[in-house]
Structure 1
Amino acid sequence: MKVSERAQHLSIWCTLIMMFTFGWVLWGLLYMLPPPMATLSEVEVAAFYRANAFDIRLGAMIASWISAFGVPFAVVIAIQLARLEKQDSPEGAPVWSLLAFAGGILMTMFLVFPPIVWGTAAFTAERAPQLTTILHELGTLTLVTTDQFFIFQMIPIAIVSLRVKHDEYSAFPRWLGYFTLWAALVFEVGALAFMFKSGPFSWNGIMVFWAPLIVYGSWVTVTCVVILKALARQAGMSSAA
């Protein structure tokens, strides 16, 4: 296996390990899986952060190390997309690969930022409840409503998967393109959390929180597995050559 293939293989495994660890931290330390109801009063929000201050600060610390798992994921996706784009159009620039890379890097910011804000809310849990509530709302809404950059990683994957000619070493079969397109549409519902404090479109509702969470985790996992299998085939091709 070439150095590039080994590096991509390691990056994908890092993505999977960090993503599942982030999910555990979100549930077990930050207590945001799901988030507390948006209808809580300022006093109740402040009490939540006082009661869980140590755990939330510890969760924020761990999340500071692992929440940017989208970065190695975006790099490998861009490399694999560029491989197909170059085969399809050797003289052209890999526009879709660059767009997917940019979208993947930017969307990582919105996984990094919420734990920082929650950790800040718990850092001085004795402050005025109004201030703690502002931080809590900022962190939670940032997590569930920031769909702006996801689409710029997913749409290029869907386009290349569905339109570019593939070979047996491709990491993006057509079915993955359809799956990615569907996942992108599910994510776009998140912004509705600005409009509802209860029900399926609230920040802990099934349409805004649970559906995107499950679909995102499934999409990253499936995409990583498909890429790992493609890297194994590509390594076999390199060995044969």
Structure 2
Amino acid sequence: MGFIPPPSPSASAEQIREMYIAHQTRIRVGLILTVVSCGLAFPWAVAIAVQMQRIEGRWSPMALSQLIAGVALPLLYIMPVMAWASAAFRPDERPAELTRFANDLGWFPFVGVGSPAFIQSIAIAIVTLRDIRPNPVFKRWVAYFNIWCVLLFFAGALIYAFKSGPLAWNGVVAFWIPVVVFVAWIFVMTYVLLAAINDQEDELNATPAGIVEFESDLQHQVNRLSSELESIRQLMSRQPAPAQGS
């Protein structure tokens, strides 16, 4: 994209300006591809939410949380794309300080704001660990993998305090490790998502033996919902009766 490796946050304004002039075409092409690819994140997040809902049932707070975060993530990445596009549009016609400002404005949210990915990974992990059926939607290792990803994503939030070293936005800990982990997360979750969709199709086209297993899973969800409903009823019964009006 013209940003590999990323420019140093300690680089001078003139150095940043020269980078945008030298790699102007590559940066523009990369930004166009980024905008197009961001659109793929929306159906991806929806598909994950649908599979999570198979675990949670009708009331699906974790699935909805993952869906909202998954929709917010590509929208968040549009902001740095616009900042970099502004810097690359006419770097030879504006002061170097303005180009560096636009460059900074792009890197801070791109590397430093990982909360949507945090929420997605945590929600997936919680739901996966709660799925105790014999044939779970996602295997338990998917939950542990997502927890591991959250821990490694977190380093990106430290870039606001560093202009050099491993915790700067071009550092090993804050940039390279999270980027590698994020790419791995996308591929792993896509793989397990496709597997879950195939399993769901097999259930819908099940043989008599498969129907029995599907009914068992469905009964498990009904029992869990009944238990939750009973707990709600007990809590409501403990509430004091409303005072009678005068």
Into which bin does the TM-score normalised by the smaller protein fall? 0.7 to 0.9
Q: Does 1:42 align with 2:32?
A: no
Alignment of 1:127-138 (within 5 A): 127-138=94-105
Alignment partners' CA distance in 1, 2:142 and 2:84? 35
Corresponding residue to 2:83 among 103, 117, 133: 117
Q: Larger deviation: 115-124 or 95-104?
A: 115-124
Aligned length: 206
Alignment partners' CA distance in 1, 2:130 and 2:205? 29
Corresponding residue to 1:228 among 167, 171, 194: 194
Q: CA deviation at 1:39?
A: 1.5
Contact 2:51 2:197 in 1 (8 A): no
Task: Give the AA of the match of 1:82.
Answer: Q
Q: Which residue of structure 2 aligns with residue 54 of structure 1?
A: 25
Structure 1 segments, 4+ long, off by >6 Å, are none
Contact 1:155 1:180 in 2 (8 A): yes
Aligned-partner SS, 1:149: helix
Deviations 1:183-224 (A, max 9, x none): 012111111111111111010111100111111111111111
Q: Which residue of structure 2 aligns with residue 10 of structure 1?
A: none
Task: Give the AA of the match of 1:160.
Answer: V
Deviations 1:99-133 (A, max 9, x none): 11011111222333322221111101121101000
Q: CA deviation at 1:56?
A: 1.5
Structure possessing the higher radius of gyration over alpha carbons: 2
Contact 1:161 1:173 in 2 (8 A): yes
Deviations 1:24-73 (A, max 9, x none): xxxxxx22233111111000101111111222122222222112332122
Alignment partners' CA distance in 2, 1:207 and 1:61? 27
**Tell me, which stretches of 5 or more residues in structure 2 are unaligned?**
208-246
Task: Give the AA of the match of 1:138.
Answer: L
Q: Which residue of structure 1 aligns with residue 163 of structure 2?
A: 197
Q: Does 1:82 align with 2:24?
A: no
Alignment partners' CA distance in 2, 1:149 and 1:225? 21
Deviations 1:66-90 (A, max 9, x none): 123321221011100001111xxxx
Aligned-partner SS, 1:32: coil
Aligned-partner SS, 1:240: coil
**Tell me, which stretches of 5 or more residues in structure 1 are unaligned?**
1-29, 87-91
Alignment partners' CA distance in 2, 1:217 and 1:152? 17
Contact 2:91 2:99 in 1 (8 A): yes
Alignment partners' CA distance in 1, 2:119 and 2:127? 13
Q: Which residue of structure 2 aligns with residue 208 of structure 1?
A: 174
Aligned-partner SS, 1:203: coil
Alignment of 1:12-31 (within 5 A): 30-31=1-2
Contact 2:2 2:30 in 1 (8 A): no
Deviations 1:163-199 (A, max 9, x none): 232342x432111101101101211111111111111
Q: Does 1:68 align with 2:39?
A: yes
Contact 2:114 2:157 in 1 (8 A): yes
Q: CA deviation at 1:233?
A: 2.1
When normalised by structure 2's length, the TM-score is 0.79
Corresponding residue to 1:143 among 102, 110, 115: 110
Alignment partners' CA distance in 2, 1:142 and 1:32? 15
Q: Cα RMSD over matched residues? A: 1.5
Alignment partners' CA distance in 2, 1:166 and 1:137? 48
When normalised by structure 1's length, the TM-score is 0.81
Task: Give the AA of the match of 2:25.
Answer: F
